Amino acid sequence: MTETFDVVVIGAGVHGASTALHLAERGTKVLVLERATAASGATGRSSGLVRMHYDLAAESALAWRSYDYFVNWPERVGGDAGFVRTGFVRIVPVDREANLRANVAEQQRIGIRTSVISAEDVGQLAPTLTTDDFAVAAYEPDSGYADPTSVCATLLAAARRHGAIVRQNSPVEAIEVDAGRVVGIKTASGRISAPVVVLAAGAWSGPLAASAGVDLDIKAWHHDTGFVTRPTESSAALPTVIDDINELYFRPEGTGLALVGLEDGNRIDDRPGDDSRSDPAFVEHMVDRITRRVPSLAAAGFQGAHGGTDGITTDQRPVMGAFGPAGLVLQTGMSGTGFKIAPAVGLAISELILDGAAHSMDISAFDAGRFAAGKPLRGEHPYGDLWR
C-alpha cells in the first residue's frame, strides 16, 4: 500500500528540519526524507554564524526574526542550540563605508541592535585585531554563533514530538507530477503520495527539481574551514568577524580555538559529492589572511580543516516559495549563508503551504522566477558577491 502524507520534505538539514517542525506544530502529517544522515550536508559543515548584517534588507529581516529563536531556543524549540554571544563586527574597505552606513541604518529601522563604530572602537573591543586599514565597522553586540548540528537535531526532535516522521538513508529519486500537480515522490523502496513536496536538498536540488520539470540553476559550492589554537594573549575578546578587506571570516570556537573561513577560492561546479577533505592550499592561504587581522595567531597551532558543500544560485541568494507544478515548494540554494535564517524561513514556508501565503515574513523576493525575468537579487547597498 502506498504511504500518504500531507507534505514530504526532501532534506534533513537545518532548513528541512525547521519547516518540518513548523508544519508539524500545526497538525500537518509530515515526512522528512534524507539521502544520508541529518545535518550531513551543508548544515553539518556550517560555520554557524548568527548575525543580522547583510546588504540585502530581506535577508536581514529573516535573520532578525530568526534571532529570537536562537536566544530562546529551550522555550521555542527545546534542547540547546549552543548559541554563544560574542559580538559581531563587519569590516569593509574604505570605499564601501557609505554602503555599510546605509545598511546599518536600514537594520536599525527594523529593530536590530547595531551601530557604526570607529576602527578605534574595534581595537578597544578586540585588542588583538589590527585596525589600521579601515575607518569604521558595523557592530552587533548581541550576535555570535551557534552549533549547527545541535540546532538541526533539536529541530528534528521537536518535529517528531509533534508527529513528524524522519527517515534517514532514504534518498529521493524523483518528484512525481501528474497533470501539472505534484502527486508524491519516488524512492528505491517505492512511491510515497503527497500533494506538497518541499525541496530542501541543498546542492542536490537541481536534478530533483528537473524530475518535476523545473530548470533550477543551482550548483555545488565547495567551501573549506580551518581551526587554529588561540594563544593565551588571543584568548579574550575575540568577536565573530567578517573581514572583506582580507576576504575571510572568523569566530571563536569554544575557549581555545578559532574557526576561520575564506571568502575567495571557493570551487563551484556540478558535483555535489560528500568529499569533506579540504584543499591542500587552503591552510597556507588561511594562515596568511588571519594573521594579517589577528597577528598573535601567528603563534597558533593548526588543529585541522574540513570541506563542505552547499547549493549556490547565480546571484548567491536563496530560492524560496512555490514554483513550477502546483505543490512544489523550493527552499534551497542558500549559497553558504542560510543557517542563521532557517527558523524564520521554516515558519514562512509552513505558512505558505497551510495558509496560501507567508504572513510572518515576506519571502517573495526569493522567488525562483527572478532569474528568467532577468532580475537577480542585489543588495540595496551592495558589497559585491560574498563568495569569489
pLDDT score at 92? 98
Per-residue pLDDT reduced to its tens digit, 92-128: 999 999 999 999 999 999 999 999 999 999 999 999 9
pTM for this entry: 0.97
Per-residue pLDDT reduced to its tens digit, 169-211: 999 999 999 999 999 999 999 999 999 999 999 999 999 999 9
Q: Please give the mean pLDDT across all residues of the chain.
A: 96
What does the alpha-carbon distance between residue 28 and residue 286 come to, in Å, rounded to a whole number? 46
pLDDT score at 335? 98
- Residue ranges of domains in the chain, CATH in brackets: 87-142+220-308 (3.30.9.10)
Per-residue pLDDT reduced to its tens digit, 2-12: 899 999 999 99
pLDDT at 259 over 90: yes
pLDDT score at 152? 98
Give residue 357's identity as a one-letter amino acid code: A
pLDDT score at 233? 60
pLDDT score at 235? 53
Per-residue pLDDT reduced to its tens digit, 302-342: 999 989 999 999 999 999 999 999 999 999 999 999 999 99
Cα dist from 343 to 20, 150, 173, 336, whole Å: 11, 14, 27, 16
Per-residue pLDDT reduced to its tens digit, 348-359: 999 999 999 999
Q: What is the 3-state secondary structure (H, E, C) of the chain?
A: CCEECCEEEECCCHHHHHHHHHHHHCCCCEEEECCCCCCCCCHHHCCCEECCCCCCHHHHHHHHHHHHHHHCHHHHCCCCCCCEECCEEEECCHHHHHHHHHHHHHHHHCCCCCEEEEHHHHHHHCCCCCCCCCCEEEEECCCEECCHHHHHHHHHHHHHHCCCEEECCCCEEEEEEECCEEEEEEECCEEEECCEEEECCHHHHHHHHHHCCCCCCCEEEEEEEEEEECCHHHCCCCCEEEECCCCEEEEEECCCEEEEEECCCCEEECCCCCCCCCCHHHHHHHHHHHHHHCHHHHHCCEEEEEEEEEEECCCCCCEEEECCCECEEEEECCCCCCHHHHHHHHHHHHHHHHHCCCCCCCCHHHCHHHCCCCCCCCCCCCCCCCCC
pLDDT score at 274? 62
pLDDT score at 231? 81
pLDDT score at 273? 76
pLDDT at 161 over 70: yes
Residue with cell 564601501: 96
pLDDT score at 308? 92
pLDDT score at 52? 98
Per-residue pLDDT reduced to its tens digit, 36-70: 999 999 999 999 999 999 999 999 999 999 999 99
Per-residue pLDDT reduced to its tens digit, 198-256: 999 999 999 999 999 999 999 999 999 999 998 876 556 899 999 999 999 999 999 89
pLDDT score at 275? 64
Per-residue pLDDT reduced to its tens digit, 16-32: 999 999 999 999 999 99
Specify the pairing of strand 30-33 against strand 7-10: parallel
- What confidence tier does 258 reach under pLDDT thresholds 50, 70, 90? very high
- What confidence tier does 345 reach under pLDDT thresholds 50, 70, 90? very high
Find the helix packing angle between 57-71 and 97-109, rounded to 10°: 60
